[in-house]
Amino acid sequence: MEENQKKCYEIAERIYDLDVKVYESVGSALGRTFTDDRQTCVENLTRLMTLRPQGHLLRSELALISNMARTIKDEEVKAEVMTEYDAILKAVAELPDGFGKVDILNKKRAKLNTARTKKKFKKGDHLVICIGRTQGSAGNDIGFALADALHINYYDVEILQEVLKRLDVTNDAKVSGDKDQDGLIEDKYQKNFGEAKGLKQKLHDFNRYHGLNKDDAIFFNQSDLLCKMAKEEDFVVMGRCADVILANNHIPHISIFITAPFEQRVKRYMEVNNLSLKQAVHELKKMDKKHRKYFQFYSGVKWGDAENYDICFNSASYGIEDSVEIIERMLNKIPGVSWNKKEA
Amino acid sequence: MEENQKKCYEIAERIYDLDVKVYESVGSALGRTFTDDRQTCVENLTRLMTLRPQGHLLRSELALISNMARTIKDEEVKAEVMTEYDAILKAVAELPDGFGKVDILNKKRAKLNTARTKKKFKKGDHLVICIGRTQGSAGNDIGFALADALHINYYDVEILQEVLKRLDVTNDAKVSGDKDQDGLIEDKYQKNFGEAKGLKQKLHDFNRYHGLNKDDAIFFNQSDLLCKMAKEEDFVVMGRCADVILANNHIPHISIFITAPFEQRVKRYMEVNNLSLKQAVHELKKMDKKHRKYFQFYSGVKWGDAENYDICFNSASYGIEDSVEIIERMLNKIPGVSWNKKEA
């Protein structure tokens, strides 16, 4: 018998013996998972363990034993049985073919995921939370409250536009050599993003964006801005394909999608905006379509599809306040404590 | 001026003054959000506050000021400014039309959501975690590991079938009056679910399920079992539309959907089951289709759609171990501490 098979056989014997022990302690034939004779059962179990495809069946057998074991009334016997159960689980997990061995983790993706428990923040990493949302799901409210709770900046489309507009003013001032505006160099946005774009750079940009429509030019400007910001500060950003842009540029972030059932969103949208049912339905569908189109055009993946985000959230199940707290907990932040005190 | 408008006007003045203060402290014209004269700006802000539709614009203006305020170098001035900012936010939130007032919370849904921070467990409530998943996303591995970490039972389709089979044996024994099997009455499953179904009940069941195909009969049997279990014990259950069944029966639970990008799932599925790319793709699509069909047939809502779950999870972003820990954190459980110590 080869080494691995021998190990499997030994574990199979332990599983069978555990089942017998649980059966004796519970005192009912219904408590018994394996009803065949010892030899047959152990051989079947060994087969389950050596043939990978049946991994989930072995798990089911083990779960049946442990579910039953938890009903044992004698606490001492129960503790003894559960200890052996844990030891068996560990032994199975250590088998080269044990279940749970083949992880689903995407290393590249996980490396960029700042909400993992095992990932330590490095110096220079920033907490960047990208939030996508359906219209009326209170996603913006949650994003804004979350930024406030974490004491970090909040950016939505209006703010990003405003920041870009200010940068343009600064750049134009620089290019035209307006000395009166030199004091502006101390400004944060100026410092971070507006570094002395000379005429040469301007021409380069012009050539780069030449032939693009205005939307594309704005998208690229915002993308550049987001990447620069993500290297400088912690923030929450709403929409803008920020998650995809940052992933493509290998910049750590967390991607969250917030939604709620359509009827719930309609109900809220009517109330917030004082609209009729018909108006609200029309408006929601229009805005969702707009966001979907934008996201899919620039990202190439499906908007709102769970596999394209780290986490999706149903705001109808939590409400605004609770959503913020659950996200804080996921980030392992105790509510109220500033994020900035992170490891160097 | 009516009461509410007067309040809005006062807050608008405070916002304008805060912006001026931030502008002076940062020392740059770019730090200024409002560039018009005081009167015009305050009137515009008041309008933003009294007309609800512009709620998000007011939020953007405020975020711009606070983003800028966080760059103030003098810590004392910064603290002063941020205190006033917080006070303004609070004042806005207290307005009858303030943003964040209209929550997205669905009260009925939230009442059943055991992962909310505000919801206290009542005596008799149980921690029931319903997990849906795409094939190959390691959803079952995460569910099994989660149950183990929380020291609660784990049920998948095989285990539920096994439990039902055992119940059938018990019931048949009862009906046929087999005295030798009476000892079985002490058994857990018997106690909970098999209570003395007489011949009358049997006939009732027969009539009830008459005309249904085998799948439907199994579904209804499993549904009954799940509802009974959820009133008796804490557990993790995989698939079976458990979330929808429990919601329809007003039984508290948490619904989670686990998925991962298709390519990642294919990669894992090939490795776990030793399949070719073609086989894995075929098998994944077939199983996803089967689960989708089953869920949609019995639930009437779309499988894997974020709005139909409390939370969706991308296992590729976390891996098995981290997924378990993140879910534990969401539940506000410190990993390793048994759930059972809950409030009475």
User: Does the pLDDT of residue A317 top 80, yes or no?
Assistant: yes
Q: Which of A245-254, B251-260, B280-289, B326-335 has the lowest mean pLDDT?
A: B326-335
Distance, in Å, from the CA atom of A136 to the CA atom of A263, rounded to the nearest integer, reads 10
Task: Determine whether the interchain pair A169/B30 forms a contact, defined as Cβ–Cβ distance below 8 Å.
Answer: yes
**DSSP helix/strand/coil, B129:** strand
User: Does the pLDDT of residue B337 top 50, yes or no?
Assistant: no
Q: Looking at per-residue confidence, does A110 or B235 come out higher?
A: B235
**Which stretches of chain A are assigned E, i.e. beta strand?**
128-133, 153-155, 235-238, 254-259, 311-314
Distance, in Å, from the CA atom of A131 to the CA atom of B67, rounded to the nearest integer, reads 18
**DSSP helix/strand/coil, A255:** strand
> What per-residue confidence (pLDDT) applies to A1?
54
Q: List the single best residue of A254, A317, A330 to mutate versus B (max B Cβ within 10 A).
A: A317
Task: Determine whether the interchain pair B153/A63 forms a contact, defined as Cβ–Cβ distance below 8 Å.
Answer: yes
Closest among B331, B106, B112 to B242, alpha carbons compared: B112
Task: Determine whether the interchain pair B104/A162 forms a contact, defined as Cβ–Cβ distance below 8 Å.
Answer: no
Distance, in Å, from the CA atom of B344 to the CA atom of B323, rounded to the nearest integer, reads 29
With residue A319 as reference, give the H or E element that holds it: helix A315-330
Q: How far is A61 from chain B (nearest CA, A)?
A: 8
Q: What are phi and psi of B282, to 5 degrees?
A: -60, -50
> What per-residue confidence (pLDDT) applies to B123?
66
User: One-letter amino acid identity for A200?
Assistant: K
Distance, in Å, from the CA atom of B38 to the CA atom of B20, rounded to the nearest integer, reads 10
Tens of pLDDT, residue by residue over A204-235, are 555 555 556 677 888 888 899 999 999 989 99
Q: Sort strands A311-314 and A254-259 into parallel, antiparallel or unpaired.
A: parallel
| 8 A C-beta contact, residue A317 and residue A303 | no
> What per-residue confidence (pLDDT) applies to A175?
44
The token pair at B144 is 């099994």
Report the percent of chain A where pLDDT is more than 90: 35
Closest among A60, A30, A54, A53 to B158, alpha carbons compared: A60
| 8 A C-beta contact, residue A69 and residue A85 | yes
B167 CB-contact burial (10 Å; exposed 0-12 / middle 13-18 / buried 19+): buried
Number of A/B CB contacts below 8 angstroms equals 293
Give A67's pLDDT tier (boundaries 50, 70, 90).
confident
Distance, in Å, from the CA atom of A319 to the CA atom of A315, rounded to the nearest integer, reads 5
Tens of pLDDT, residue by residue over B103-150, are 777 777 777 776 665 555 566 778 999 999 999 999 999 999 999 889
Distance, in Å, from the CA atom of A227 to the CA atom of A232, rounded to the nearest integer, reads 9
Q: List the single best residue of A75, A95, A101, A104 to mutate versus B (max B Cβ within 10 A).
A: A104
User: One-letter amino acid identity for B124?
Assistant: G
Domains within chain B, CATH numbers bracketed: 3-94 (no CATH), 107-330 (3.40.50.300)
Q: How far is A89 from chain B (nearest CA, A)?
A: 10
Q: How far is A182 from chain B (nearest CA, A)?
A: 10
What lies within 8 Å, CB to CB, of B130 at 6+ separation is B237, B242, B243, B246, B253, B254, B255, B256
Residue of B27, B52, B322 lying closest to A186 (CB–CB): B27
Task: Determine whether the interchain pair A314/B310 forms a contact, defined as Cβ–Cβ distance below 8 Å.
Answer: yes
Give B290's pLDDT tier (boundaries 50, 70, 90).
very high
List the beta bridge partners of residue B311. Answer: A313, B256
Tens of pLDDT, residue by residue over B1-20, are 577 788 889 999 999 999 98
Distance, in Å, from the CA atom of B43 to the CA atom of B31, rounded to the nearest integer, reads 21
Task: Determine whether the interchain pair B30/A166 forms a contact, defined as Cβ–Cβ distance below 8 Å.
Answer: yes
Nearest CA in chain B to A141: B100
Distance, in Å, from the CA atom of A225 to the CA atom of A168, rounded to the nearest integer, reads 12
Q: What are phi and psi of B292, to 5 degrees?
A: -60, -45
With residue A281 as reference, give the H or E element that holds it: helix A277-299
Strands in B128-133's sheet, in edge-to-edge order, are: A153-155, A235-238, A128-133, A254-259, A311-314, B311-314, B254-259, B128-133, B235-238, B153-155
Q: Sort strands B153-155 and B235-238 into parallel, antiparallel or unpaired.
A: parallel
Give A180's pLDDT tier (boundaries 50, 70, 90).
very low
Average pLDDT, whole number, for chain B? 79
Q: How far is B233 from chain A (nearest CA, A)?
A: 11
**DSSP helix/strand/coil, A37:** coil
Query: Which chain B residues are within 8 Å of A140, Cβ to Cβ?
Result: 56, 59
Query: Which chain A residues are within 8 Å of B318, Cβ to Cβ?
Result: 105, 110, 113, 116, 310
B228 CB-contact burial (10 Å; exposed 0-12 / middle 13-18 / buried 19+): middle
User: Does the pLDDT of residue B40 top 60, yes or no?
Assistant: yes
Task: Determine whether the interchain pair B330/A330 forms a contact, defined as Cβ–Cβ distance below 8 Å.
Answer: yes
What lies within 8 Å, CB to CB, of A299 at 6+ separation is A241, A244, A308
Q: List the single best residue of A49, A271, A307 to mutate versus B (max B Cβ within 10 A).
A: A307
Q: Long-range contact list for A33-36, CB < 8 A, 24+ apart?
A: A33/A61, A33/A64, A33/A65, A33/A68, A34/A61
| 8 A C-beta contact, residue A124 and residue A252 | no
| 8 A C-beta contact, residue A327 and residue A256 | yes
Report the percent of chain B where pLDDT is more than 90: 35
Closest among B50, B53, B60 to B6, alpha carbons compared: B50
